């Protein structure tokens, strides 16, 4: 189907409420996680707010909630609402509402169990849930139910795409639905080891049904899903950058085949990369660490394709708006639109995050920064900005579209996006700087007796950046809450931005760029090659004897 032919889908109120519910729960948890991040930054600078603001008992409880809420709950709930919305919109079909609300209930029940565990200080195990740190059983079951919710989303979107293909033989799947299914398919494959770990090992362990665990085996299962989950967060942002943002800036998608190929490549290349998080772990052969090092650099390829295609698409918009010269088109982009500004600034910092990610992935350079603050410095550029700021940019048009109200203040939105950009630049610089000087991660540095003098200035960078980010976050939430309840009704419904390709190839598009089977098969094959011998060795040496540890 030509994108030019896509009309706006008239969505019933019940369906809009479902998507809004997902999105609001996600952002509500981001607000809590963001404030706890502010407290962490201040603690690193020697200001211990945990003694005066008793919303949590200690640093590690706050760090756990910050990680779980920001990178697991916020992202997963927003993605659920967004991907179901774009699928329904692009296929011009309602989703199965019963299944949609069932998905919401499963995820929300899981979330309530998780909230109970972390707020009662029974799951201060950080978001990585590393054993032998042991959490209350509700923590493991709760997060497992959230993952089950993502599988239900895959079922919903997969059925809708298959049905659409039957009704439209010979036509290519609309890009938004195509990208949504690629994202959920990748995560559906990648999340299996995590489900095995949480349901098969950690849950019975927390219920004293098994005597102990094997720490190395658990870490391997975690990172089999723990790095691919980054692409589960990033691909919805890519979906907006590829297929929506060009329309918002007045341009067109530079190359539809290249965009489809990038999404399909992420399915096999995102998965077999977990050992680059375990370079210093004993018990994993160096040869397999080297294979994962190569494959981690391979996943950089579709990222570079994304950078090229998205920038070229944005250039078509800047030049259509009168931009001249090599970079004159950049200034012609609609920087007064908060949705556009947020996503453009997210891309800028994502470029730095991608470069710092190559350092983490390098077998030798990783040894210098491993388990230091450099790693969360990188993480905040990618997930904390590329993902979070892009999702904020999306809701600047998506919430008004779903509610029928205007955005409360576009100017406030633009200021908020720039403050996030500035704050994150300063904070991540401080983290990366301290990390290169040897400051450890996952540590209450402000109370550490070994705190070094050279960490003082980077720690203040981290704290000041955190303050600016917190101000930005509060501006965002004020703007959103006002848009939900105070803003007047819009005279005209906000349209869903869907970019047309620069060259519409229609049915001429190769069929293999619209099919997933081969790419999913390639993913299974690569995982088998990259993991099977190492897993066989780990299982043959399995020793389920390590008892749980609850130091907090």
445-476 pLDDT, tens per residue? 999 999 999 999 999 999 999 999 999 999 99
**3-state SS class at 213:** strand
> With 50 as the cut, is the pLDDT of residue 146 above it?
yes
CA torsion through residues 93, 97, 98, 99, sign: positive
Please name which of 69, 63, 68 lies closest in space to residue 28, comparing C-alpha atoms. 69
Are 103 and 121 in contact by the 8 Å Cβ rule? The answer is no
Q: What angle do CA 389, 391, 396 make, to 5 degrees?
A: 95
344-372 pLDDT, tens per residue? 999 999 999 988 888 999 988 898 999 99
Structure tokens at 218: 């658990």
**Which 3-state string (H, E, C) describes 79-92?**
HHHHHHHHHHHHHC
Question: Rounded to whole angstroms, how far apart are CA atoms 409 and 386?
Answer: 23
> With 60 as the cut, is the pLDDT of residue 4 above it?
no
286 to 82, 293, 543: CA distances (angstroms): 40, 10, 21
HSE-up of 519 (CA within 13 Å, CB side)? Answer: 22
Give the residue carrying structure tokens 């990178």. Answer: 71
Catalytic residues: 227, 231, 378-380, 441-442
> With 80 as the cut, is the pLDDT of residue 480 above it?
yes
The pLDDT value given to residue 2: 43
Are 271 and 526 in contact by the 8 Å Cβ rule? The answer is yes
Confidence of residue 8 (pLDDT cuts 50, 70, 90): low
Question: Rounded to whole angstroms, how far apart are CA atoms 345 and 175?
Answer: 24
b/e burial code for range 490-508 (CB count within 10 A of at least 16 → b):
eeeebebbbbbbeeeebee
Q: What share of the chain is helix, strand, coil (3-state, %, to 5)?
A: 70, 0, 25
The Cβ of residue 117 has, within 10 Å, a number of other Cβ atoms equal to: 25
Are 499 and 86 in contact by the 8 Å Cβ rule? The answer is no
b/e burial code for range 190-200 (CB count within 10 A of at least 16 → b):
bbebbbebbbe
Confidence of residue 379 (pLDDT cuts 50, 70, 90): very high
Question: Rounded to whole angstroms, how far apart are CA atoms 535 and 538?
Answer: 5
Structure tokens at 373: 């603050």
Question: Rounded to whole angstroms, how far apart are CA atoms 397 and 415?
Answer: 16
Mean pLDDT of the chain: 94
Quick one: DSSP state of residue 549?
Answer: B
**3-state SS class at 440:** strand
313-327 pLDDT, tens per residue? 999 999 999 999 999
């Amino acid at each position: 189907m030509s994108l030019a032919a896509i009309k706006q889908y008239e969505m019933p109120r019940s369906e809009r409420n479902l998507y809004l519910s997902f999105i609001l729960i996600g952002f509500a948890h981001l607000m809590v996680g963001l404030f706890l991040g502010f407290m962490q930054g201040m603690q690193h600078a020697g200001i211990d707010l945990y003694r005066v603001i008793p919303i949590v008992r200690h640093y590690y409880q706050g760090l756990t909630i910050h990680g779980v809420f920001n990178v697991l709950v916020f992202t997963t709930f927003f993605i659920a609402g967004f991907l179901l919305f774009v699928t329904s919109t692009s296929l011009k079909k309602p989703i199965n509402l019963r299944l949609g609300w069932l998905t919401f209930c499963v995820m929300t029940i899981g979330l309530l169990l998780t909230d109970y565990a972390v707020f009662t200080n029974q799951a201060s195990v950080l978001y990585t849930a590393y054993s032998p740190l042991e959490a209350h059983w509700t923590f493991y079951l709760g997060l497992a139910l959230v993952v089950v919710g993502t599988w239900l989303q895959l079922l919903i979107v997969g059925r809708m795409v298959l049905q659409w293909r039957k009704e439209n033989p010979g036509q290519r799947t609309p890009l938004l639905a195509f990208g949504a299914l690629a994202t959920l398919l990748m995560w559906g494959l990648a999340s299996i080891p995590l489900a095995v770990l949480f349901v098969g090992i950690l849950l019975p362990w927390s219920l004293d049904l098994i005597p102990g665990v094997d720490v190395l085996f658990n870490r391997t299962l975690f990172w089999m899903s723990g790095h691919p989950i980054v692409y589960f967060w990033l691909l919805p942002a890519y979906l907006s950058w590829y297929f929506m943002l060009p329309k918002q800036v007045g341009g067109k998608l530079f190359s539809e085949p290249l965009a489809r190929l990038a999404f399909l490549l992420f399915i096999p290349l995102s998965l077999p990369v977990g050992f680059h998080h375990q370079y210093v772990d004993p018990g994993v052969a160096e040869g397999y660490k080297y294979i994962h090092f190569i494959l981690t650099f391979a996943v950089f390829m579709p990222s570079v394709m994304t950078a090229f295609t998205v920038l070229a698409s944005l250039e078509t918009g800047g030049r259509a708006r009168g931009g001249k010269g090599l970079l004159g088109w950049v200034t012609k982009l609609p920087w007064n639109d908060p949705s556009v500004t947020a996503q453009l600034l997210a891309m800028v910092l994502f470029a730095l995050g991608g470069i710092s990610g190559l350092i983490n992935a390098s077998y030798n350079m990783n040894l210098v920064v491993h388990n230091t603050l450099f790693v969360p410095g990188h993480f905040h550029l990618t997930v904390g900005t590329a993902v979070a700021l892009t999702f904020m940019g999306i809701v600047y048009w998506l919430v008004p579209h779903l509610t029928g109200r205007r955005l409360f203040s576009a100017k406030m939105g633009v200021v908020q996006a720039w403050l996030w950009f500035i704050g994150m630049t300063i904070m991540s610089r401080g983290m990366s700087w301290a990390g290169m000087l040897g400051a450890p991660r996952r540590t209450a540095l402000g109370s550490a007796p070994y705190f070094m003098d050279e960490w003082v200035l980077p720690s203040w960078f981290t704290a000041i950046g955190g303050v600016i980010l917190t101000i930005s976050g509060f501006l965002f939430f004020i703007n959103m809450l006002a848009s939900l309840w105070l803003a007047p009704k819009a005279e005209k419904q906000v349209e869903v931005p869907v970019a047309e390709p620069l060259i519409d190839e229609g049915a001429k598009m190769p069929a293999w760029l619209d099919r997933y089977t081969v790419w999913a098969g390639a993913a299974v094959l690569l995982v088998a090659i990259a993991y099977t011998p190492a897993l066989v060795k780990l299982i043959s040496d399995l020793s389920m004897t390590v008892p749980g540890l609850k130091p907090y």
